[in-house]
Structure 1
Amino acid sequence: MKIKLFIFLGILLTVFNWNCKSNNEPLTEGQIKEIESSLKVGDVIFHISKSGQGKAIQLATNSKYNHVGVIVENNGQNQVLEAIHPVRFTPIAEWIQRGERKHYVVKRLNTQQALSDEQVSCLNESGLEYVGKPYDFYFGWDNSRIYCSELVWKLYKNCLGLEIGKLQNFGEFDLKNPIVQHALKQRFGDQIPYSEKVISPGEMFDSPLLMTVNNL
């Protein structure tokens, strides 16, 4: 019985180590090319950020996904435009590698009609206007600083007239968890902006306007 238990534990340990190694290894050139070839300007890409506030965002929004970007063209290549600190273009492979377990989901408008040339140009050009802006750690709705889902939501609203996800008030989030409470205390002290208009990655992920086209 003990021998069988040791064998079973050995198998589990081997699988665990293999998974860890697999998740830490960089994407192959073939994988990168396959992913890049499947993407289009306007695709919305989600992953699980390992940043310090990532867990608090997951808990507050009741969502697995806590970070989002949008595919735009930069210097002839499709890249992820994302609001970190500051807003920047990120190569696809780097963006995927940075997420938890390299897991990502790509979503696209749930329509048979492709984006028009004007819409694609608007996303590319409007996105460029945000590059270099600082990340908004306080989740305000003005454009002086900007956070990830706010960036993608506003680009879609401005260029396509679509609202990807329903805007909420900050106070509608689930703020009871101690991890969330601690993050709020550090960020806002006693001045939590309960009435601030916000959009979350999770709300965008669940939007009926989007369909999943790729994931890993």
Structure 2
Amino acid sequence: MKNTKYLILGITFLLSFCLALYVTMQVFRTNPFMASTTKEQKGLPEKIQDGDIIFQTSESPQCEAVRIATNSKFSHCGIIYEINGNLFVFEAVQPVKLTPLDDWIMHGRDKNYVVKRVKNAAKILTPNTLQKMKDYSQQFDGKEYDAFFEWTDTRIYCSELVWKIYKNGANIELSKLQHLKDFNLTDERVKKVLKERYGNDIPLEEKVVSPSNLVDSDLLVTVIDTY
């Protein structure tokens, strides 16, 4: 009888464990902002905090055009999220996704980057506000990158993603919006990219926000600059 009792208890425990594991995996699949990574975050600066914004110089003809048009060395950015003790960058690439911070840094030119933080972040970016930002972010996870820079939520580009998350999750407008016509569109390299994207119908009045708009924001302070 004792053996039977222990066998039943053992089976019950095993079933409970399997059920708990299954539920946990389902949660991670549906909400990646709760999932952790098995990749160790080695050698990352301790200064980095949840909600920081990170900038880098990416390598591609489009990124070169962005740098020229905006008169800036930065062409890509994202939001740093701490999830289960690990650091990720939520970024608009193809598709929009969470990328381990160390991997993200490796993608930039010479592995250089700048990290910025909202002034008075300790008071402004409370745990509740940070969770609102992460909850809002989920609607963009997996969406296509917006190569046409349209101010819609159907597809989204990097600086637009950061701006909208801060606006709708923390009620902070990091910078004023501009129009496409406000940028330097006369350089031949910029003209080439615009021609490939729009043909002869360039949406000059389209609302846009660039990495340079964000990195120059008076609301942010520099935390790390490896350039």
Q: TM-score, normalised by structure 1?
A: 0.82
Select the residue among 35, 38, 42 that pairs with 2:51.
Answer: 42
CA gap 1:138/1:30 in 2 versus in 1, 3 angstroms:
closer
For these two proteins, the number of residue pairs brought into alignment is 187
CA distance in 2 between counterparts of 1:108 and 1:132 reads 25
Does structure 1 retain, via aligned residues, the 8 Å contact 2:41–2:86? no
RMSD: 1.7
CA distance in 1 between counterparts of 2:50 and 2:138 reads 13
Does structure 2 retain, via aligned residues, the 8 Å contact 1:74–1:89? no
Shift of 1:203: 0.7
CA distance in 2 between counterparts of 1:186 and 1:75 reads 42
Select the residue among 74, 88, 102 that pairs with 1:65.
Answer: 74
CA gap 1:178/1:118 in 2 versus in 1, 3 angstroms:
same
Equivalent position of 2:126 in the other structure:
116
User: Is 1:105 matched with 2:105?
Assistant: no
Equivalent position of 1:15 in the other structure:
none
Segments of 5+ residues of structure 2 without an aligned counterpart are 1-38
Equivalent position of 2:145 in the other structure:
135
CA distance in 2 between counterparts of 1:74 and 1:170 reads 35
Select the residue among 168, 171, 187 that pairs with 1:158.
Answer: 168
**Structure index of larger Rg:** 2
Question: Partner amino acid for 1:41?
Answer: D
Equivalent position of 2:212 in the other structure:
202
CA distance in 2 between counterparts of 1:31 and 1:137 reads 31
Equivalent position of 1:3 in the other structure:
none
Equivalent position of 2:188 in the other structure:
178
Shift of 1:51: 2.4
Does structure 1 retain, via aligned residues, the 8 Å contact 2:50–2:82? yes
Segments of 5+ residues of structure 1 without an aligned counterpart are 1-28
CA distance in 1 between counterparts of 2:58 and 2:131 reads 29
Shift of 1:127: 1.5
Shift of 1:74: 3.7
Shift of 1:128: 2.1
| Cα offsets for 1:34-84 (capped at 9, x unmatched) | 32x322121000000112311100000111101000012345422000000
Does structure 2 retain, via aligned residues, the 8 Å contact 1:73–1:124? no
Shift of 1:112: 5.8
Q: Percent of aligned positions with the same letter in both sequences?
A: 43
